Amino acid sequence: MTTHHDLGRVTATAQPGGAARPSTRAVPRPNEGVWPGLATPPVAPAKARVAEALFRRAVRTLPVRVVFPGGERIGAGGPDSPVMRIERPGPLFARMGTDSKIGFGESYMAGDWTTTDLPGLLTPFAAKLSTLIPPVLQRMARRYVEARQPREEVNSLEGSRDNIHRHYDLSNDLFALFLDETMSYSAAWFADRACDDDLAGAQRRKIDGILDMAGVRRGMHVLEIGTGWGALAIRAAQRGARVTTLTISAEQKALAEQRIADAGVADRVQVLLRDYREAQGSYDAVVSVEMIEAVGEAYWPTYFGALDRLLSPGGRVGLQAITMPHDRLAVSKKDYTWIHKYVFPGGLIPSVTSIEHNLAHDTSLHIVERRSLGYDYARTLGHWRETFLARWSEVADMGFDETFRRMWEFYLGYCEAGFRVGYLDAFQLSLQRRPSF
């Protein structure tokens, strides 16, 4: 199956270098051969009129400034507020009216609107996300307008491999350009949120934090579910543990093994191309960092059951998870959004309540310690976004086009805004078995 990620990387039509910072210059239209359907907005005049009316109503009280092509300005923002410049109102509102959860991001990719401060603009929208559209209209949109998750993106064994391939097998070189030297693709933990700006140090602190929550020490055999590019496995091995780490990304496995060898711990780390459902054995500690988001609600009992099944008596689990409020999860868990279509197919962010519910019903485990990294994640994403934009010319040299740049920038800025306002959070959780009486 052809995906948008496959299409975003081209050989003959890639844009040259380009600007390292977002701008309000005219944006090239997406190449129809590379991004089919994106260059031509839907024809939906009635829906577009409704979308524009709702947009104007929402923006009226937000601290932003929206500028239309003819010079009209709306919004409650002052001189220093973020500016959204609408370049093509017709396509923007047609996309939003057809499917607001996908159309707004696609409009940015297509250049229908621009801004000089993407996360700053998206932050007030994220803060009011649940109230921007009246509840009755939200229910109607979910029922009659908005798309649902495609059947092929369900996280079965085969579906999970396809979903992971579309993101994590995009290009090791791409991720290496904007991640820090540890190649960690999850929330960092900054020692001082006001002053600390060392991303690599914050990532190492995060890794040590989750290993501590799992009680990892010398002589243990540790299972990691979700290898990434090997940073956690390396650190656990440096502590004197033996590590078995699982991934279903062939690209990640290859680079992780190289990095593990370069770190001099290949004799203590085994990387397996294996799904968590296929794992066997018993381990002194189990660690899984931001992998649950790719599991899907239908498989949460299986995932948590695997943690319980694979953990030796007396052991602990270190779990790091992105979370959302439980009430938002309840109403949005079946939504199909821009993030699903372009970045994380099959993904679903749990709530802490849903994690506790699954632990209580499907395992003998419970949460004994927790640490929030939500604001740290906003800073982490800010680092990634700034580095990605600053090194865009190198990304373009790999064959990625301008539409891909705007897609990736929107993804990072959108997530940063969510963590800034607390719509999203991230927790490190220590799990152990409930006492028996």
Concatenated DSSP letters of 94-155: HHHHH-HHHHHHHHHHHTSEEES-HHHHHHHHHHTTTTSS-HHHHHHHHHHTS-B--GGGS-
Least confident of 147-156, 316-325, 383-392, 404-413: 147-156
Once rounded to an integer, what is the mean pLDDT over residues 211-220? 98
Paired residues of 322 in beta bridges: 426
Residue 27 confidence (pLDDT):
79
Least confident of 195-204, 263-272, 400-409: 195-204
Closest CA to 318 of 346, 289, 359: 289
- CATH 3.40.50.150 matches 153-433: yes
* β-strand pairing of 113-115 with 221-225: unpaired
Q: Tens digits of per-residue pLDDT, 273-324? A: 999 999 999 999 999 999 999 999 999 999 999 999 999 999 999 999 999 9
Q: Is the pLDDT of residue 140 over 80?
A: no
DSSP 8-state code for residue 75:
S
The residue whose two tokens read 């705007």 is 406
Rounded alpha-carbon distances, angstroms, from residue 227 to 285, 305, 388:
15, 19, 23
The domains of the chain are located at 4-149, 153-433
Cα separation, 378 vs 419, in Å, equals: 5
What confidence category does residue 143 fall into, taking pLDDT thresholds of 50, 70 and 90? low
Q: Is the pLDDT of residue 15 over 90?
A: no
**Ramachandran sector of residue 399 (left: φ over 0; alpha: ψ -120 to 50; beta: rest):** left
Whole-structure pTM value:
0.89
Q: Tens digits of per-residue pLDDT, 330-384? A: 988 888 999 999 998 889 999 999 999 999 999 999 999 999 999 999 999 999 9
Rounded alpha-carbon distances, angstroms, from residue 432 to 61, 108, 175:
47, 45, 34
What confidence category does residue 97 fall into, taking pLDDT thresholds of 50, 70 and 90? very high
Least confident of 12-26, 185-199, 329-343: 12-26
Helix (H, G, I), strand (E, B) or coil at 216: coil
What confidence category does residue 136 fall into, taking pLDDT thresholds of 50, 70 and 90? low
